[in-house]
Structure 1
Amino acid sequence: MILEPPYRKIIHVDMDAFYASVEQMDNPELRGIPLAVGGGGERGVVAAASYEARKFGVRSAMSGVLARKNCPQLTFVKPRFARYKEISLKIRNIFYQYTDLVEPLSLDEAYLDVTKNKKNFPSATILAQKIRQQIFEEVGLNASAGISINKFVAKIASDVNKPNGQKTVPPEEVLAFLEKLDIKKFYGIGKVASAKMYNLGIFTGKDLKEKSLEFLTENFKKSGKHYYQIVRGIHNSEVKPHRIPKSVAAEHTFNTNLTSEIYMLEKLEQIATELEKRLQKSNISGKTITLKIKYSDFSVQTRSKTQAHFINDKDALLKNAKALLYQEKLHESVRLLGISLSNLNTTILEKEEPFEVQLKLEF
């Protein structure tokens, strides 16, 4: 059941293969060929892949070695984050011509609430078309978009007609749209959760919708209520122009795998020093320290500890990180260590207002 008004009109804009597209735009020799942004060496990782490379199974976060195995003719270029940020700001300035309610998720994607917009235009679908066209004309890149009643559905919809397309899911089609989706397409349901759902006989949104709140809570704890609501088109999160960070982190990937905790202590001190700089620059403190360990087999383990008081200094970070490191034995050599701080003093307890949806409106 979808509730009655008020409603929102949300656009999720997602740039197509952003880093790779910027490189191809700036260098005509890279156009039309399989391209990866990142490192192609033994320790390298793919940060982004062009659509030509994706046809061969090359994906972001894939090791450079595996990417080359999948696509021997793959060309690697080093990332230029200053350039990506420059382009991202141009795109964001276009968004602000339509609405001040812009919530960036990263350099290449953002939510826009156009329920009330600066163009006084009633159709969010046409606004999305205009935004995408303006990005292409002024920046030279393609974008895809999803348009719907909330951030969750808009995010999923933006992936439907990629690249260089858009998908509108109006209120009256939300439930049918979600019911037909493979559960792996639900934003926020990762590999572990989707595998568990498969084992429980949940393969589509329709299967998920048939499960009771009690069943989902029993099997997925706090996430169960979230799953129960989203498959019914209920997602109350507003577009927040100033996103409050939930955590701050620093991490290092090592040139040579580390095999002993003793060798890692020096690295942890460097990471804690970098994290201290980031925290104190923004006047942020937190209570929960998390140690991230990525092993040579690319498996990732996290260990966390929560303090009674807020901290943001190197000594406290390092002390807790060391304790977490020695908490249990490492099962492989280590290629990456990271420290993050969450449960921050920036956290604001938000009251979720009831949010409802009108079934008939111009989308």
Structure 2
Amino acid sequence: MSFVNVNATSLTQKPPSKKFKVVLDAGHGGKDHGKPSKVGSPEKDIALKIVLALGKELAKNKDIEVIYTRKKDVFIDLHERGRIANKAEADLFISVHCNAHTSQAYGAETYVLGLHRNATNLNVAKAENAVVFLEENYEETYAQYDLNSPESAIGLGLMQEEFLDQSVFLASLVQDNFRKKLKRKDRSVKQAGFIVLHQTVMPSVLIETGFITNTNERKYLNSQKGQLALARAIAGAVGEYKEKVFSYLTNETIADQEVIVPEVEEAQPDKIVTGVTFKVQLAASKRKLKTKPYNFKGLKEISRLKKGKVFKYYYGATSNYTEIKRKLEEAKKKGYTTAFIVSFEENNIQVPLKQVLN
């Protein structure tokens, strides 16, 4: 599946509270050589060199923290790579690989998680997933997979749905940089069931940087110049992603607008307040975002109001205070830790919550 025309402004998320964490995964390693090359280094070595160069580029930004799944030639289980990213609570996961083919095929492509839409995508995923057979107890660890089936990763949509748009956007930025800055053949953004992406719970991509079976591309991938160029192109995509996606106003800015979290007495269960609508305020932003679930971590019932130059975003709308408290807890579990309840009378006139409950 190919993706085009991804709207960056529709993907805006709440900024991370600490450094922006990027987990870099050099494909293969140790006893897993990856795709073989008749001349030059195997895939595992090329991927590692690109990842190390990419890490150095990203580390130049003091707001970015780089975490590696491996920094040397060692074998790492696929599920362990995902565990490293999840434990770090990373904001992005990037896995770097090289492609191969029986022909002189060439070019770069970036994958996001999903079902295999055609035989080519399936074969690429099978090649990268085959490493599981080198792992101990792989039959138990990956019991839910049939690597030969397009439906092998059943439930992928449910597990990664809230990250798909962000993953596609990052993948599109990577491919744009490859095409525009490096003049590489753009083999587009695609979707397939890569196990290493399935293990992560954050926006994730797998980059096939080129074909080591192509005579010219193999030389490029084995060269320090080519590896650094690829690393810088990917780093540029990460920087643009960070800038465009994480653009909510900070809590301090919101506080400057005299948005105060009220201290109120607990209301009685199922307390209905006639003529008043309660909502959960999630965030405020200078950007006008679509009120779609993928912009708000899967939350539905999103509404938007403009106050001055700032758009405010709300979750839920009910006259039942008990119900809105439940929605507040849902929002906080999704990561909106500074969310709070607000109350409105007719025509969206906001009134103090304490006054309403009293």
> TM-score surpassing 0.5?
no
User: TM-score if structure 2 supplies the norm length?
Assistant: 0.24
Higher relative contact order, chain-length normalized (CA < 8 Å, sep 6+): 2
Larger radius of gyration: 2
